[in-house]
């Protein structure tokens, strides 16, 4: 083997490794991000944060789910089996409250786009997990497991119930801590200035080759074995070596939908804020899907 060929093969191996790494969410990057709600976080945002809790992951995940807390205002019961080891109560705001995007140029209308409101326990989409903190109805500290069965931790920089606009308000242990309004979206009752998800980029619709064929310049999703979910992961490659994944609401259905986490990587704020999977320079994140 010549030296040039060896160098070429090593280079290709490096590029493959970089690309593969780009498909995964690097969980450790949540440390000191705005999703790090622990008291040890160095994130300087005015968002809610624990006043004495040093754990980071348990605000969303718990290896052992147990129903221990009683501070369940405005939440859905369960879902004790909700993936991925979910530790946060889901919103219980009633069916059809978020709305869906509509325009004369949106070709997913009339197909299967569906409102995220009132998702039943155990059947929530990944976007419902996001909204359980970001629709302003459930405290970010309202957890199944609590901390060593002590319930929901005390917090600072909470919003006010029914009108979460103020920061700096404290919530005692066991008391819901709502996100300040600037970090909320989706629910017209609790989020001033934002009518509903109908005013935001559409989500919760099937994004496949058939839809891409109906639309102008819409990229056809591909399978990527390096994505979360292995060979069954569908999505769109990003310009930076990242991957914009689509999500099955029902595992094994082959029906992949666009969700909040298609564009946002909740564990990684380090590369592109706010938790984006690609750069917005030159609108590249938009062009990943809309630039064929």
Tens place of pLDDT for every residue, the chain, 292 residues? 444 433 333 333 333 333 333 345 678 899 999 999 999 998 866 788 999 889 899 899 888 766 555 555 667 655 556 677 888 888 877 667 888 888 888 877 777 888 888 776 667 889 989 988 888 888 898 887 765 556 688 999 888 776 677 778 898 888 889 887 778 887 665 555 555 788 889 999 999 999 999 888 899 999 886 555 555 689 999 988 889 999 988 878 889 999 999 999 999 888 888 899 999 999 999 999 998 7
Question: Closest Cα partner for 177 from 137, 148, 217, 147?
Answer: 137
Residue 75 domain-assigned (yes or no): yes
pLDDT of residue 271: 84
Residue 12 domain-assigned (yes or no): no
pLDDT of residue 1: 46
Give dist(CA 125, CA 253) in Å, integer: 14
pLDDT of residue 265: 93
Residue 135 domain-assigned (yes or no): yes
Question: Closest Cα partner for 263 from 250, 282, 247?
Answer: 247
Which ranges constitute the DSSP H helices of the chain? 3-23, 126-134, 209-214, 260-263, 284-290
- CA-based torsion, 62, 64, 65, 66: positive or negative: negative
DSSP string, 6-56: HHHHHHHHHHHHHHHHHHS--GGGGTTSTT--STT----SSS-EESS---S
| Domain co-membership, 192 together with 216 | no
pLDDT of residue 284: 95
**Which structure tokens are listed for 95?**
């069916």
Select from 138, 167, 200 the last residue of a domain.
200
Tokens 């006010």 correspond to 160
Residue 183 domain-assigned (yes or no): yes
Residue 143 domain-assigned (yes or no): yes
Helix, strand, coil tally for the chain in percent (to 5): 25, 15, 65
| Domain co-membership, 135 together with 57 | yes
| Domain co-membership, 139 together with 238 | no
Q: Which domain holds residue 139?
A: 31-200
| Domain co-membership, 126 together with 254 | no
| Domain co-membership, 151 together with 266 | no
pLDDT of residue 147: 59
Q: Which residues contact 148 (CB under 8 A, 6 or more apart)?
A: none
pLDDT of residue 122: 63
pLDDT of residue 279: 94
Burial of 39 (0-12, 13-18, 19+ CB in 10 A): middle
| Domain co-membership, 50 together with 195 | yes
Residue 39 domain-assigned (yes or no): yes
Q: How many domains does the chain have?
A: 2
| Domain co-membership, 119 together with 148 | yes
Residue 25 domain-assigned (yes or no): no
pTM score, whole prediction: 0.84
Q: Which residues contact 184 (CB under 8 A, 6 or more apart)?
A: 134, 135, 136, 159, 164, 190, 191, 194
Residue 69 domain-assigned (yes or no): yes
| Domain co-membership, 232 together with 195 | no
pLDDT of residue 188: 60
Residue 258 DSSP code: E
| Domain co-membership, 222 together with 244 | yes
| Domain co-membership, 56 together with 168 | yes
272 to each of 29, 236, 267, 278, how far by Cα in Å?
12, 17, 11, 6
Q: Which residues contact 211 (CB under 8 A, 6 or more apart)?
A: 107, 108, 111, 205, 218
pLDDT of residue 241: 84
pLDDT of residue 7: 37
Select from 154, 183, 200 the last residue of a domain.
200
| Domain co-membership, 174 together with 62 | yes
Select from 157, 175, 200 the last residue of a domain.
200
| Domain co-membership, 49 together with 172 | yes
């Amino acid at each position: 083997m010549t030296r040039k060929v060896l160098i070429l093969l090593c280079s290709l191996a490096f590029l493959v490794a970089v690309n593969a790494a780009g498909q995964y969410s690097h969980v450790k990057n949540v440390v000191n991000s705005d999703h790090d709600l622990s008291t040890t976080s160095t994130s300087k945002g005015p968002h809610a944060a624990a006043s004495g809790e040093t754990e980071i992951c348990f605000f969303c995940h718990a290896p052992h789910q147990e129903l221990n807390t009683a501070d369940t205002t405005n939440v859905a019961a369960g879902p004790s089996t909700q993936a991925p080891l979910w530790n946060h109560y889901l919103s219980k705001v009633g069916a059809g409250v978020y709305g869906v995007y509509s325009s004369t140029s949106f070709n997913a209308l009339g197909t299967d786009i569906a409102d995220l409101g009132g998702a039943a326990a155990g059947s929530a989409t990944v976007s419902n997990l996001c909204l359980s903190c970001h629709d302003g109805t459930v405290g970010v500290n309202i957890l199944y497991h609590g901390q060593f069965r002590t319930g929901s931790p005390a917090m600072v920089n909470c919003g006010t119930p029914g009108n979460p606009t103020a920061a700096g308000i404290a919530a005692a242990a066991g008391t819901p801590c709502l996100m300040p309004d600037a970090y909320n979206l989706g629910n017209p009752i609790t989020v001033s200035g934002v009518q509903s998800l109908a005013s935001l980029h559409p989500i919760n619709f099937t994004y496949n080759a058939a839809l891409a064929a109906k639309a102008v310049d819409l990229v056809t999703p591909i399978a990527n074995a390096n994505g979360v979910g292995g060979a069954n992961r569908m999505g769109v490659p990003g310009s930076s070596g990242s991957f914009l994944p689509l999500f099955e609401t029902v595992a094994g259905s082959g029906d992949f939908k666009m969700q909040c986490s298609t564009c946002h990587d909740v564990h990684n704020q380090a590369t592109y804020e706010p938790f984006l999977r690609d750069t917005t320079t030159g609108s590249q994140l938009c062009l990943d899907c809309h630039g064929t």
